[in-house]
Amino acid sequence: MSDLGHVLVLAGGLSYEREVSLRSGRRVSEVLRAAGVDVEARDTDASLVPSILADPPDAVFVTLHGGAGEDGAIRSVLELLNVPYVGADPDACRVAFDKPTAKAVVRSVGLHTPESVTLPKETFHDLGATVVLGRIVEHLGLPLFVKPARGGSALGASIVRTAEELPAAMVGCFAYGDTALIERYVEGVEVAVSVVDFGNGPVALPAVEIVPDEGVYDYAARYTAGHTEFFAPARLSAQAAAACAETAVTAHTALGLRDISRTDLIVDAAGIPHFLEVNVAPGMTETSLLPMAAEAAGQDLGDLCRTLLQNAATRFHA
C-alpha cells in the first residue's frame, strides 16, 4: 500500500481537450488505485477550492490538457492553496505552453527546430491575407505545417502541401486560437519522447514511433483506437534513438520543467531530431504515448504515477 494519504487527480476543465482530459484522469485514477493509493478525481469547478481548503490532499496529479491545465493557471491556484502537485511550476508552464517561445528557448541551447513564422489573426486582417500568405510561402517554402501557437491534441493543425491549401489551413487554425505558428514541414519519422524525473535528474523513456493510417497524426488518429500504429521503442538506429533521448532531456531542462514531460520530434533522413513542441501534462489515455513508453521501459504506470506524487509531497515538505 502507498504511504501517501489521499491524493487528488484533476481532470476535465473547459478547454477543447476536456474529453481527452477526462479519459486521462480516469486512467491515472485507476492505475493509482491499483497501486494502493487513496484517489479522489475532481473536475475544476467552483467547489474545488473550498473542498481543498476543507480537506487538503497530500498531493495533486494534474491531467488537465490545454488552457488552464498547461498554461500555469491551475498550478498557480494550487500554490496559493499550499498544495503539492506533480509537474512544472507556473512560470515554466507558461513558457512551454507557448509553442513559439518554447521553440526559441530550445533553439538557444542548440536544438534543431523547424524554421517558422508566428502571426496573430489581426495581421492577416490588417495587412491583407493574400500578400502575407504569399510571402510566407516564398520565405519558408512548401510543405508547411500550420497549428495554433497554444493548445494541443493537434486541434486546428494541418499539413499544407500547396499554396492553395494554406488559406483553409489558416481558417482551421484560427478556429482554435488567435495566433498561428506556421513552420517548415520536416519529412521524417514522427516520435514522442517522454521524460520522467524521480528525484535523480530527468531520464528519457524509450521513444514511441507514430505511424497514422492517414499520414497525419490528427485528433482522430490520436484518440481513436486502430487509427494509428505505434512502435515502442521506435524503429530508430541506436544513434538516432540516443539523439532523441538527449534532445528531450535537453528541452525538459532548458524549459525548466520537472517531474514529467513529453517532447514531440521529427527525425529526418540523416537521423537528426527536430523539436516540435513539449507537453507539460502528457496524455495518459489508453492510446497516449507516455503510458506506451513506460510499458516499453518495463515500468508499471501506477508505480510511476505514485512515485511522482510521493516526490511532489516530499519536495513540498522539504
For range 255-280, the mean pLDDT: 97
- 200 catalytically annotated: no
For 7, the enclosing helix (H) or strand (E) is strand 6-10
Active site residue: 116, 279, 288, 311, which one?
A: 279
- 128 catalytically annotated: no
Percent of the chain with pLDDT over 70: 95
CA proximity to 287, closest of 241, 233, 219, 235: 219
Active site residue: 17, 58, 71, 197, which one?
A: 17
- 229 catalytically annotated: no
**Can you give the pTM of this predicted structure?**
0.93
Give the long-range contacts of residues 30-34, CB within 8 A, separation 24 or more. 31/300, 31/301, 31/302, 31/305, 32/7, 32/61, 32/302, 32/305, 32/306, 32/309, 34/302
**Per residue in 128-179, pLDDT tens?**
899 999 999 999 999 999 999 997 767 899 999 999 999 999 999 999 999 9
Active site residue: 66, 67, 283, 302, which one?
A: 283
- 264 catalytically annotated: yes
- 311 catalytically annotated: no
Q: Kindly list the distances between the CA atom of residue 200 and the CA atoms of 255, 258, 308, in Å, as whole numbers in the listed order.
A: 18, 11, 12
Active site residue: 23, 150, 222, 262, which one?
A: 262
Active site residue: 21, 67, 277, 306, which one?
A: 277
**Per residue in 282-316, pLDDT tens?**
999 988 999 999 999 999 999 999 999 999 999 99
Average pLDDT of the chain to the nearest whole number: 93
pLDDT bracket for residue 69 (50, 70, 90): confident
- 262 catalytically annotated: yes
- Residue 1: pLDDT over 50: no
- 82 catalytically annotated: no
- 279 catalytically annotated: yes
The letter for the amino acid at 10 is L
CA proximity to 258, closest of 50, 95, 27: 95
Active site residue: 183, 223, 259, 288, which one?
A: 223
**Per residue in 87-128, pLDDT tens?**
999 999 999 999 999 999 999 999 999 999 999 999 988 898
Active site residue: 209, 261, 264, 306, which one?
A: 264
Active site residue: 153, 158, 288, 311, which one?
A: 153
